[in-house]
């Protein structure tokens, strides 16, 4: 009898895509204005789901194929003896050459039921990058959209709050009850970023992840759970608070939070700290934009932990150029310096490697990549994409000429969406880096008056009446 009410089963990802998509359309689609920008944004968000499902299915098929091969050849050694002897006798330079040759070799085909699993996963990444490109263009064009009619969700604030709280409880329950033994095989790939973040395991929240188990102790599992839950809570509260205090529309903030929790992406990556922690820090940087030193601390944390938000600095420096720049730079510099100093607490002989990894101090990597770059795309094409990304990041230092809170949100989302194209370890999957910022852009009112000169105090002087005047003028 106890199983009748308490035997909860995680929904299949495909089932959840259908259910959540219908619910999202019912709650947020503007039926009385079909040809509206809000509906286009909802469509872009829903278009992420097919790509996520293809990547998920491709990985599940690959792991199933590897399990079948291992079961069919249980006694086969992992490496022929002659190759093992050759590796043991090789010099360091010869080992490096062997590694390069192995990495350049085309990955073997894995067929499951006659389907090449690499093709399924590759098309999934291509779909996600295509949608990310459309979202990037939408965010770049947002500053030139002048008319922003108020389009509230189709449900009251109380109803949205109930749905959001219920969804948050179920999603966090998935994180808490996940099986620790299977996390080691799903952690983030090594790349630029803080070493501790790269060591954190991922918390699988899909029902079919149970079949990919690796029975071994997992370090930092408790820390990963705590950070994932705290980051998700920070994102939700940040969206609500920005709606309340900056948009002067609590319904818009609650709607953005409810939409974030309903999206299939959130359900699939609830326990990925490398996805949600930077998103939480960026959201709170936006919330604290009137306090440059606090925004600088949050931007510095995001850049120090996962590296890629470092390219937001031209945009944010340009926003604070007329007022608050020094305090913002202090916040960023102090935070990054503290994170770098903490690296010296470990083994002394690895300090240089850790600092190099934190700041990405190496030439663009073309070997050992994952995601679309490990599934057939020639990594040499990352170089022109990286150059174009750098140009885009620097472009936001000059355009638009006068930046406000709205452009700060939309252009930050554009930069983080564009980073997916050259991310070498699953680019396209890190939707959380730009998703909350995009949701704020979708729900925001006209914020042209929220410029640094009006809302930021001069030095230690509090802005007082100026802040209230700006809020009442925008309300």
pLDDT at 336 > cutoff 90: yes
Most confident option among 5-14, 29-38, 198-207, 414-423: 414-423
If you compute the radius of gyration of the chain from its CA atoms, what whole number of angstroms results?
Answer: 23
What b/e string do you get for 351-386 counting C-beta neighbours within 10 Å, with b at 16 or more?
eeebeebbbeeeeebbebbbbbbbbebebeebeeee
Confidence of residue 370 (pLDDT cuts 50, 70, 90): confident
pLDDT tens by residue, 9-18 = 778 899 999 9
What is 72-128 written as a DSSP string?
A: H-TTS-SS-HHHHHHHHH--HHHHHHHHHHHHHSPPPP-EETTEEHHHHHHHHHHHH
Alpha-carbon distance of 202 to 224, in angstroms, equals 7
Higher-pLDDT residue of 220, 332 = 332
Confidence of residue 96 (pLDDT cuts 50, 70, 90): very low
What b/e string do you get for 208-221 counting C-beta neighbours within 10 Å, with b at 16 or more?
bbeebeeeeebebb
Quick one: pLDDT at residue 5?
Answer: 55
Alpha-carbon distance of 406 to 348, in angstroms, equals 45
pLDDT tens by residue, 216-249 = 457 788 899 999 999 999 999 999 999 999 999 9
Residue whose pair of structure tokens reads 């030193």 in the numeric block: 293
Alpha-carbon distance of 278 to 275, in angstroms, equals 7
Quick one: pLDDT at residue 368?
Answer: 83
Whole-model pTM above 0.75? yes
Q: How many residues are listed for the chain in this entry? A: 475
What is the rounded average pLDDT of the residues 246-259?
Answer: 96
Higher-pLDDT residue of 182, 227 = 227
pLDDT at 79 > cutoff 80: no
pLDDT tens by residue, 276-302 = 999 999 999 999 999 999 999 999 999
Closest CA to 369 of 133, 185, 192, 130: 192
What is the rounded average pLDDT of the residues 27-32?
Answer: 94
Most confident option among 108-122, 210-224, 418-432, 453-467: 418-432
What is the rounded average pLDDT of the residues 186-198?
Answer: 75
What is the rounded average pLDDT of the residues 424-428?
Answer: 91
Helices within 142-291 (DSSP H only) = 157-176, 195-199, 221-241, 250-262, 264-268, 273-287
Query: Encoding tokens for residue 429?
Result: 């999957």
- What lies within 8 Å, CB to CB, of 190 at 6+ separation is 198, 357, 425
Quick one: pLDDT at residue 62?
Answer: 73
Quick one: pLDDT at residue 365?
Answer: 84
Quick one: pLDDT at residue 147?
Answer: 80
Work out the mean pLDDT of the chain and round it to a whole number: 84
Quick one: pLDDT at residue 317?
Answer: 97
DSSP 8-state symbol, 133:
H
pLDDT at 86 > cutoff 60: no
Lowest mean pLDDT among 105-119, 381-395, 417-431: 105-119
């Amino acid at each position: 009898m106890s199983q009748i009410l308490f035997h909860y089963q995680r929904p299949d990802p495909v089932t959840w895509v259908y259910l959540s998509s219908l619910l999202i359309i019912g709650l947020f689609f503007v039926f009385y204005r079909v040809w509206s920008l809000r509906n286009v944004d909802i469509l872009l968000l829903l278009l992420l789901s097919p790509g996520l499902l293809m990547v998920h299915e491709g990985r599940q098929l690959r792991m199933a194929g590897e399990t079948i091969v291992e079961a069919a050849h249980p006694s086969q050694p992992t490496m022929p003896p002659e190759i093992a002897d050759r590796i043991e006798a090789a010099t360091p330079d010869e080992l490096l050459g062997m590694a390069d040759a192995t990495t350049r070799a085309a990955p073997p085909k894995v067929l499951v039921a006659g389907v090449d699993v690499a093709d399924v996963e590759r098309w999934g990444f291509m779909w996600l990058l295509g949608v990310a490109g459309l979202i990037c263009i939408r965010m770049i064009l947002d500053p030139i959209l002048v008319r922003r009619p108020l389009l509230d969700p189709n449900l009251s604030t109380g109803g949205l709050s109930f749905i959001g709280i219920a969804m948050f409880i179920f999603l966090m329950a998935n994180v808490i009850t996940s099986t620790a033994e299977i996390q080691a095989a799903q952690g983030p790939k090594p790349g630029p970023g803080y070493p501790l973040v790269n060591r954190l395991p991922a918390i699988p929240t899909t029902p079919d992840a149970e079949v990919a188990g690796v029975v071994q102790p997992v370090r930092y599992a408790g820390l990963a759970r705590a950070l994932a839950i705290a980051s998700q809570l920070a994102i939700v509260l940040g969206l609500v608070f920005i709606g309340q205090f900056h948009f002067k529309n609590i319904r818009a903030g609650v709607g953005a939070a409810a939409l974030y929790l309903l999206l299939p992406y959130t359900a699939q990556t609830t326990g990925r700290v490398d996805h949600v922690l930077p998103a939480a820090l960026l959201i709170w940087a936006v919330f604290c934009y009137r306090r440059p030193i606090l925004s600088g601390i949050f931007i510095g944390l995001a850049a120090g932990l996962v590296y890629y938000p470092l390219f937001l600095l031209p945009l944010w420096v340009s926003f604070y150029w007329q007022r608050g720049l020094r305090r913002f730079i202090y916040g960023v510099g102090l935070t990054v310096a503290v994170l770098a100093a903490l690296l010296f607490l470990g083994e002394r002989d690895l300090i240089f490697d850790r600092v190099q990894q934190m700041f990405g101090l190496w030439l663009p990597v073309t070997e050992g990549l994952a995601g679309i770059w490990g599934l057939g795309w020639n990594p040499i094409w990352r170089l022109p994409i990286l150059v174009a990304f750098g140009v885009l990041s620097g472009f936001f230092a000059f355009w638009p000429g006068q930046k406000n809170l709205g452009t700060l949100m939309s252009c930050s989302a554009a930069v983080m969406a564009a980073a997916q194209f050259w991310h070498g370890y699953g680019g396209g999957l890190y939707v959380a880096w730009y998703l909350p910022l995009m949701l704020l852009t979708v729900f925001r009112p006209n914020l042209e008056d929220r410029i640094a000169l009006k809302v930021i105090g001069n030095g230690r002087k509090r802005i007082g009446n100026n802040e209230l005047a700006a809020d009442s003028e925008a309300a």
